[in-house]
Amino acid sequence: MKLSLPLQGYFDLLKHQPGEKKFVCINCGRPVAGLYRQISSTVLKIIDCEKCKKPADKYIEFEVLIILIDLILLSKPANRHILYNSDCKNLWKIGVILILLEAYCFWTDAFGGITSISYRSHVNDPFLSERGFYLSTVHFVAGFVLLYGFIYLFTRALHRTVPQVAGNGKTYPHMLLHGVILASIVKFLFIPIIIWKENATETGMAIHIVLVLMYFVISLVQIHSVVSDCARSRSCLIVMLAFIVKAYFLTRVSVFLQEFI
């Protein structure tokens, strides 16, 4: 019985020519020629990885809901399944939604407890008020580009063995971009701030935001470790450096954008 979930079509298996090693074992990360063998029209057998001798991708038998639960639990195999063995062609849409969500929270001063930056106009003018939302959107687009760019640069500088082409045939910059968007999915947890903003204290909202951002950083470290094939300690160093440098440059960008209020 299939679940008709909204994300059911977002993470379908990739389709490759027979014999091409463009799938990846979710346990060890090594390329495999296929994930299953079709015994009959109704029976499939999962292929074992030649290196680790474990099922190459157990998630092909799981519903999307189970995969999402494992993603929330920061499972490396679940991340590999989505990034390497699934067709993530619609992942960019999730990225756009998340940027708009953050921009809306920022525009409505929901993040006021952790930052003094604001693009809201105090003039009672609908046009100026709406312009603040567009400036907030530009702010978070710039933040995403800076974070992705600095993670890429620091990875190249501190981890010289980055694969040029991933096990599924995609380039490293492409996989890293998908990884950053996948880690950002945790930002959907900002939605309760919008719903219960009027009934929450500023301290409570600030704690909520900090916890979500900490979860985002941990998720990004885990996914960077998967995509870059490096130790978590090095991934943690790279991600933290990227966040610090991004915060510095984003502050400069916000000063420039505030001139348009």
Q: What pLDDT is stored for residue 141 in this prediction?
A: 96
- Exposed, middle or buried by CB within 10 Å (0-12, 13-18, 19+), for 108? middle
Residues of the chain with pLDDT under 70: 1-21, 113, 120-128, 164-169, 261
**Tokens 């920061």 map to which residue?**
74
3-state secondary structure (DSSP) of residue 185: helix
Q: Quick check: 105 and 111 in contact, CB under 8 A? A: yes
Give the domain ranges of the chain: 1-61, 84-259
> Are 57 and 70 in contact, with CB atoms under 8 Å apart?
no
Sign of CA dihedral 9, 180, 56, 67: negative
Instruction: State both tokens at 230.
Output: 């490096």
End-to-end CA distance of the chain: give it in Å, rounded: 54
The burial class, CB within 10 Å (0-12 / 13-18 / 19+), for 215 is: middle
Question: What is this structure's pTM?
Answer: 0.85
pLDDT at res. 197:
82
**Are 187 and 102 contacting, i.e. CB atoms less than 8 angstroms apart?**
yes
Question: DSSP state, 12?
Answer: P
DSSP, collapsed to helix, strand or coil, labels residue 139 as: helix
Residue 124 has a pLDDT of 61
pLDDT attached to residue 4: 39
Residues 120, 107 contacting (CB under 8 angstroms)? yes
pLDDT of residue 2: 39
Res 3: pLDDT: 38
Amino acid identity of 153?
Answer: L
Among the listed residues 83, 127, 52, the one whose alpha carbon sits nearest the alpha carbon of residue 219: 83
pLDDT tens track for 228-241: 988 999 999 999 99
Q: How much is the pLDDT for 168? A: 59
Write down the number of H helices and E strands in the chain. Answer: 8, 4
